[in-house]
Chain A
Amino acid sequence: MNAGVPHTPRDELADATAHGEVYLRRLRQAQLALSITALITFGALVGILPIALYLLPALQRAELFDVPLPIWLLIVPLSPLFLVIAVLYARRADALDESFRELVRRR
């Protein structure tokens, strides 16, 4: 846009020039890809549970401390699983942001 003005990635971003848009779009797409990966992991692990319990009624006869196994599966492992996905996701998302910062600050 402004010929003669030094164009660091940061300036370009601020000006929303074509290049700046490319940098930001890459970050956005990387973040979205990460979120969707986490979503698919969640969907695969949690989404399978209702149909598995439905198709395998025999699980009901397996008991742990006198409580049927499906009830344990419903109450105990899911929250820690969400937490693990959340922690891993947050770490990766922060790292993506950080590498973007590096890119923009360079020069």
Chain B
Amino acid sequence: MIAIVAVAGVTFGTLGLGVWGMRFARSTSDLLVASRAVTPWWNAAAISGEYLSAASFLGVAGLELKLGVSALWQAVGFTAGYLALLLFVAAPLRRFGSYTIPDFVEARLRSVRLRSLASGIVLLIGVFYLVPQLKGAGISLGVVTGAPYWVGVAIVGGVVAVNVGLGGMRGITYVQAFQFWLKVFAIAVPACMLLVHFDGLPGQATIFHNEFPHAGSHGLRITLGARQQVEFPTAAHYTINGNARVAAAGHTVTLATGHLYLAPETAVPVATGTDALRGSDWSRPVWNNGESTPLFVYSLLLATFLGTMGLPHILVRFYTNPDGRAARHTTVRVIGLLGIFYAFPAVYGALGRVFTPQLLITGETDTVVLRLPQAAWPGVVGEALGAIVAAGAFAAFLSTSSGLLVSIAGTLSHDVWPSIAREAPTTVATRRRRFRLAATAGMLVPVGLAFWAQGVDIAVLVGWAFVIAASTFCPTFLLGIWWTRLTARGAAWGMIAGATVATGAIFLDLALGEPGGVGGALLAQPAVISVPIAFATMIGVSLRAGEHPRVEAEMLALHAPEGLGFDEREHVPFPLGSSSRPTLGASDLGLP
């Protein structure tokens, strides 16, 4: 009950603040000037707030419970990605004055067709990233209220679409910054209180040593909402709907819908597709198993390290930095802030092995953060802690989904619509109406996909978005900013090659039923192949052009420090005459 109030409070509080804040911002004389007053600390908290999604809040701990400590590499990569962004992209991109990826490729490479391609990839990444947020919302609302999965997906999808359509929340740096601290509070306080309550991690043998996750001293009673195929790691006595059964070690059994009871201390069976792991294996960060092999870990690190810079909803936020230097200093602070957050999810995955082993039976490991507090600390305290994490989780879905939907809707209304309708929007009112329609349409596909993706881990879904970004936009940025010879043709073929290899591998992996092994690792996490292919294609095709493109003006805009009188408006070759479309305005993106 407390949890429902907390979730409703976060949801409507955020919406209210956003709408109220937007009014307030509109009354100031110059919205852009106002945004320039935002300090790097506020900006950094806002970027971090937008970035910490369902994957960070629920997914990392869920994957950790399921696969082991190796899942924590993902959190390492999520932070390291900002280092790549800092070293190669942040300052030049801010100086260039482009704040969407299609804007950047059009201005830097002078090609409208490349802009269309980049827009398509923005939509692809946006949808891949939005689906896990909605999945998170579906399972979370289920945990909090007992509602069916689709209800949460539909409600959060609808709320976010309305919110973005009305222009609320997104633009308000302070709301996003507040959301960041809410999320840190929501993940840290329950984790610390549990560790203090138990005076460290209880159940050492289950977490780190020789034991499988097992039923407690009173046995384990759960209700299965659907038939579930499971494998018993050890011989076990159990009853299903009152009928006593025996399972031999290693047996795969289909459990019927209904009440399952496991005798005290019985090792829990695990949903097929997952390995039952003893603590000694579970707690190894890298070893010879499935998604813990060195190849998989390195490929994952590469995808997250290089993929962060290609996330559309994050780049837009960098525009609120006044100049390139501030963009650098904001990014440094983001790295520090994310480091605080990612210290905590690990606690939930570890304690989950002791207190919520039933999630391994049902496969609902993504809910471990939400269920753990009450399972570990029955009573009012546990309920209150559960309410805190639920509120933090909803803050995560709302902020990230809103940012993503703004990018998707902006791309749909600004790039896709005019190219289909063959006319540019004329008035502000027309553009706003189109943006609202696009926000609605842009939410329908992710909602549909989220219904289908209930069984796929949040962290895995988000991982795909990172792979695609790393295989397309990362090479475009790195070469476009630092290499004068990149051509539009080279960038186009490189992005196509990278996107094709990355998505092809992921879908092949799904089609083959996640085969595992070295080949399976490369299919499930193809960055280590797709990123080099994208780079090689871009460089190779560009060099074949023979002539050296004249890009002095672009390089000046990208790299000349501020304060020399090379104002970006004079030097950014924007628009280039090749494009008759109006540039996407800050108000289209809901920026303050």
Contacts and interface: CB of A to CB of B under 8 A. Distances in A.
B86 interface: yes
Given A31-B559, A70-B284, A86-B332, A50 B87 contact: no
B581 to A, nearest CB: 27
Contacts, number: 143
Interface string A25-48: 101100110010011001000110
A42 B80 contact: yes
B87 A35 contact: yes
Interface string A52-77: 01100100100101111011011110
A10 B354 CA distance: 66
A64 B285 CA distance: 16
Interface of A: 10, 13-14, 16, 20-21, 24-25, 27-28, 31-32, 35, 38-39, 42, 46-47, 50-51, 53-54, 57, 60, 63, 65-68, 70-71, 73-76, 78-80, 82-83, 85-87, 89-90, 93-94, 97-98, 100-101, 104-105
B335 A83 contact: yes
Interface in B283-304: 283-287, 294, 297-298, 301
B187 to A, nearest CB: 13
B556 A24 contact: yes
25 contacts: A13-B560, A14-B556, A20-B552, A24-B552, A35-B88, A46-B301, A47-B298, A50-B297, A50-B301, A54-B287, A57-B284, A60-B280, A60-B283, A66-B200, A66-B201, A67-B201, A67-B208, A71-B283, A79-B342, A80-B339, A82-B79, A82-B80, A83-B339, A87-B332, A105-B564
Contacts of A65: 200
Interface SS of chain B: helix
A85 B83 contact: yes
Interface stretch (B323-331, B364-372, B414-422): B323-331
A62 B385 CA distance: 33
B73 interface: yes
B343 interface: yes
B254 interface: no
Given A82-B79, A90-B328, A101-B561, A39 B294 contact: no
A70 B285 contact: yes
B484 to A, nearest CB: 8
A78 to B, nearest CB: 5
Contacts of A27: 559-561
Across chains A and B, which 7 residue pairs bring their CB atoms closest together, nearest first? Answer: A79-B339, A16-B552, A97-B561, A35-B87, A54-B286, A86-B332, A50-B297
A90 B332 contact: yes
B336 interface: yes
Contacts of B332: 83, 86-87, 90
Given A24-B556, A35-B87, A46-B80, A75 B343 contact: yes
B553 interface: yes
A86 B556 CA distance: 24
A79 B338 contact: yes
A86 B73 contact: no
B541 to A, nearest CB: 22
B563 interface: yes
A78 B559 contact: no
B76 interface: yes
B96 to A, nearest CB: 13
B204 interface: yes
B123 interface: no
